[in-house]
Structure 1
Amino acid sequence: MLNSMLSDRAARIMLLIVTALALGLALFFAKPVLAPVIFAVVVGIVVSPLADRLQGIGVARVIVAASLLLFSCAIIVLLFLSLEPLISGVVEDLPKIKQEIKSWVYMMSGLLRGIEAISQEIEQTVGTGAAGPDVSTGFPTLMDALWVAPNFGAQVFIFIGTLFFFVLTRTDIYAAAGSLGKRLYRAEHEVARYFAAVTLVNAGLGVATAIGLATLGINSALIWGLAAMLLNFILYLGPLMMITGLTFVGMTQLGGAAALMPPALFLALNLIEAQFVTPAFVGHQLHLSPLVVFLAIVFGLWIWGPVGAIVALPVMLWIGQLLRSSAEARRLQGEENPTG
């Protein structure tokens, strides 16, 4: 009997492992379709309160869906276009970054004996001339662009179609799901409310970052503030990317020990936001383990790239809210039928 129970348990564990591996492979190979679909659903959930308000005042659902589609796409395009000068500036400053890294290597080699070989190896890696690295080899060719363009266009089309029809038909889908639809609607409402509050907090972080960097004399402080706002939606990894980018900015625009001032400023603001502002303003709606959130973001980044990192937290939060709603519904049902 005991051996039978152990064998059944081992079989369930093996089945769970195989299922997890199969699901991971399916998600990886289905990236061209699932990534834009999930991203569109997440955007639709975030804008769902606005859709409900518009429908509540009598606006036709087709007009609501089309309006929110145009609004969401315009916001996404404008955000990425706003960050384009930041990316171009980093590329143009690569020679300056290289020279600053070399000066730091020379300083450290002067303070610490016995690392001459390491400094020479780093020097050979970053180059010795003032012309900087040949960054053109890292950019795609025309044939690469022509090859990627159809796939990118197809994913944009999938995103647009999914977002439009999700906003258009979500109330019908939830109504057809019965009691499950009520739980879906509740989970959607909680996720949308959470991200509305987080958006306000991140906007405040972006404004504070822009003001602080402008005080330090950093160029494009407004764009860096916008980047701080956007990247803070990606927990852990987003702030780390900001600190890395601001370190390079400090190297190129300030130099010396002052190069650490921009990343130190953002780190201080981020710690204040994470430890005091967000808990006080948002509350404790994110009932997920920090380890689970971090692993989910890393997993999403691995299988779907930047899109996966963006949608990982909304999906985890939505699933968590849905599971809690289902557990609460079962508990209430058990209280109503204690002898069932």
Structure 2
Amino acid sequence: MLTTVLSDRAQRVMLLILTMIAVPVGLYLGKPVIAPIVFALVVGIVVSPLAERLASIGVPRVGVAILLLLVTTSLIGLLVLMVEPLLNMLIDQLPRLKAAAARWIDTVSGVLRGIETISKEIEAANGGGESDTKSALPSVRDALWLAPNFGAQFFIFIGTLFFFVLTRNEIYAMVGHLEPILRKADRAVARYFAAVTLVNACLGVITALVMLTIGVEYAMLWGLAAAVLNYMLYLGPFIIICGLVISGLLQFTGAMALLPAAAFLLINFSEANFVTPWVVGQRLAMNPLGIFVAIVFGLWLWGPVGAIVALPVMLWFEVLMRTDMPIGSESGSMMNPA
């Protein structure tokens, strides 16, 4: 009898281990299909309050779905077009980056060799010149449309978003008593995302103004990048800080070179510890380690899309697990959700 019990436990443990391995592998291998579906579902949940408001004033459900689809896809496309100049600027600055790196980190030979290789590849694509670097490399729009799977993934995204917004009420009605819980989770994610969007917009404006005051080139683009990347908790601000360190090394000398990164670090610290907790409230009572692991796992799994949707998905599931708690009464320490 004891042997049978131990055997059953061993089978359950092995089944759990196999499931923990199979699920991430399946999600990773299914990235071309699963990632746009999850992203569309998150976007659909975020815009669900607006969809309900439009439906309540008599707008047909099909019209609501079409309108929200056009708005969300237009906003995403606009963000891509706005980020493109920043990427092109970084490409243009590669020769200056090489020279600055040679002055500041000449002891790190591996980094220098990497920069030298990148510079030589750009020069080779240019035929040896530097003036046509921008035209020698594809733009963001060219790269997106040349990507083999982008068209199919975009089609999956818009199809999932449209039909989710169109049939969301019917889908939730099918689960019976779980419908109020699902709607509560949707409201929590939508309110969180709206609050974080407001905070990130203010962060971008302040960052742009501070960079403009310091004299950093492309200050407006740095503000845009700060607002967009701040959706990726921890990783986004880290990327901005690294970029501003490079920008400071390119433009300034001495301690002044670190001023742009230090200024943004102070702005982000104030946003993370004072502004965001005040605006968002105490809805996110999640463990900081869990948040960090979720972001890193999402980034590894699906790239930037995974990093962006990781926290909303985590919050959505957390609200489902806290069915006995009102959304506004959750307690716990608040970490920066932006």
In 2, the alpha carbon distance for the partners of 1:280 and 1:19 equals: 40
Could you give the per-residue CA deviations for residues 1-22 of structure 1, whole angstroms, max 9, x where no partner exists?
Answer: 6665554444322221110111
Match of 2:73 in 1: 73
Report how far residue 254 of structure 1 moved: 2.2
Q: Are residues 88 and 309 of structure 1, via their aligned partners in 2, closer, same or farther at CA, if it must alter by over 3 Å?
A: same
In 2, the alpha carbon distance for the partners of 1:119 and 1:234 equals: 30
Q: Residues 45 and 186 of structure 2 are in contact (CA less than 8 Å); yes or no, is this contact kept in structure 1?
A: yes
How many residues align structurally? 313
Name the amino acid aligned to 2:18. V
Match of 1:92 in 2: 92
Match of 1:56 in 2: 56
Match of 2:28 in 1: 28
Pairing 1:279-290 to 2, within 5 Å after superposition: 279-290=277-288
Q: Choose from 288, 297, 300 the match for 1:299.
A: 297
Pairing 1:119-130 to 2, within 5 Å after superposition: 119=108, 123-127=112-116
Matched, 1:221 2:208: no
Match of 1:103 in 2: 103
Q: Are residues 169 and 122 of structure 1, via their aligned partners in 2, closer, same or farther at CA, if it must alter by over 3 Å?
A: closer
Task: Report SS of the residue matched to 1:284.
Answer: coil
Matched, 1:134 2:134: no
Could you give the per-residue CA deviations for residues 281-331 of structure 1, whole angstroms, max 9, x where no partner exists?
Answer: 111111211111111111111121111111111111111111112x559xx
In 1, the alpha carbon distance for the partners of 2:285 and 2:144 equals: 44
In structure 1, the gaps of 5 or more residues are 107-117, 330-340
Q: Are residues 271 and 5 of structure 1, via their aligned partners in 2, closer, same or farther at CA, if it must alter by over 3 Å?
A: farther
Match of 1:40 in 2: 40
Match of 1:204 in 2: 202
Could you give the per-residue CA deviations for residues 148-170 of structure 1, whole angstroms, max 9, x where no partner exists?
Answer: 54411010000011001111110
Q: Are residues 123 and 297 of structure 1, via their aligned partners in 2, closer, same or farther at CA, if it must alter by over 3 Å?
A: closer
In 2, the alpha carbon distance for the partners of 1:278 and 1:24 equals: 31
Q: Residues 43 and 161 of structure 2 are in contact (CA less than 8 Å); yes or no, is this contact kept in structure 1?
A: yes
Report how far residue 72 of structure 1 moved: 0.2
In 1, the alpha carbon distance for the partners of 2:2 and 2:266 equals: 57
Q: Residues 173 and 181 of structure 1 are in contact (CA less than 8 Å); yes or no, is this contact kept in structure 2?
A: no
Cα RMSD after superposing both structures: 2.6
In 1, the alpha carbon distance for the partners of 2:143 and 2:109 equals: 37
Q: Are residues 12 and 328 of structure 1, via their aligned partners in 2, closer, same or farther at CA, if it must alter by over 3 Å?
A: farther
Match of 1:115 in 2: none
Name the amino acid aligned to 1:134. E
Pairing 1:162-311 to 2, within 5 Å after superposition: 162-311=160-309
Q: Residues 100 and 255 of structure 1 are in contact (CA less than 8 Å); yes or no, is this contact kept in structure 2?
A: no
In 2, the alpha carbon distance for the partners of 1:315 and 1:146 equals: 26
Q: Are residues 2 and 270 of structure 1, via their aligned partners in 2, closer, same or farther at CA, if it must alter by over 3 Å?
A: farther
Task: Report SS of the residue matched to 1:134.
Answer: helix
In 1, the alpha carbon distance for the partners of 2:91 and 2:13 equals: 49
Which one has a bigger Cα radius of gyration?
A: 1
In 2, the alpha carbon distance for the partners of 1:65 and 1:192 equals: 17
In 1, the alpha carbon distance for the partners of 2:269 and 2:250 equals: 25
In 1, the alpha carbon distance for the partners of 2:296 and 2:67 equals: 33
Q: Are residues 71 and 100 of structure 1, via their aligned partners in 2, closer, same or farther at CA, if it must alter by over 3 Å?
A: same
In 2, the alpha carbon distance for the partners of 1:59 and 1:155 equals: 29
Name the amino acid aligned to 1:100. A
Q: Residues 204 and 226 of structure 2 are in contact (CA less than 8 Å); yes or no, is this contact kept in structure 1?
A: yes
Q: Which moved more, 1:280-289 or 1:252-261?
A: 252-261
Q: Are residues 50 and 12 of structure 1, via their aligned partners in 2, closer, same or farther at CA, if it must alter by over 3 Å?
A: same
Q: Residues 98 and 112 of structure 2 are in contact (CA less than 8 Å); yes or no, is this contact kept in structure 1?
A: no
In 2, the alpha carbon distance for the partners of 1:182 and 1:154 equals: 34
TM-score by structure 1 length? Answer: 0.85
Name the amino acid aligned to 2:266. A
Name the amino acid aligned to 1:49. P
Q: Residues 144 and 150 of structure 2 are in contact (CA less than 8 Å); yes or no, is this contact kept in structure 1?
A: no
In structure 2, the gaps of 5 or more residues are 126-135, 327-338
Q: Residues 44 and 166 of structure 1 are in contact (CA less than 8 Å); yes or no, is this contact kept in structure 2?
A: yes
In 2, the alpha carbon distance for the partners of 1:185 and 1:125 equals: 50
In 1, the alpha carbon distance for the partners of 2:291 and 2:300 equals: 14
Task: Report SS of the residue matched to 2:86.
Answer: helix
Name the amino acid aligned to 2:73. C
In 2, the alpha carbon distance for the partners of 1:198 and 1:310 equals: 12
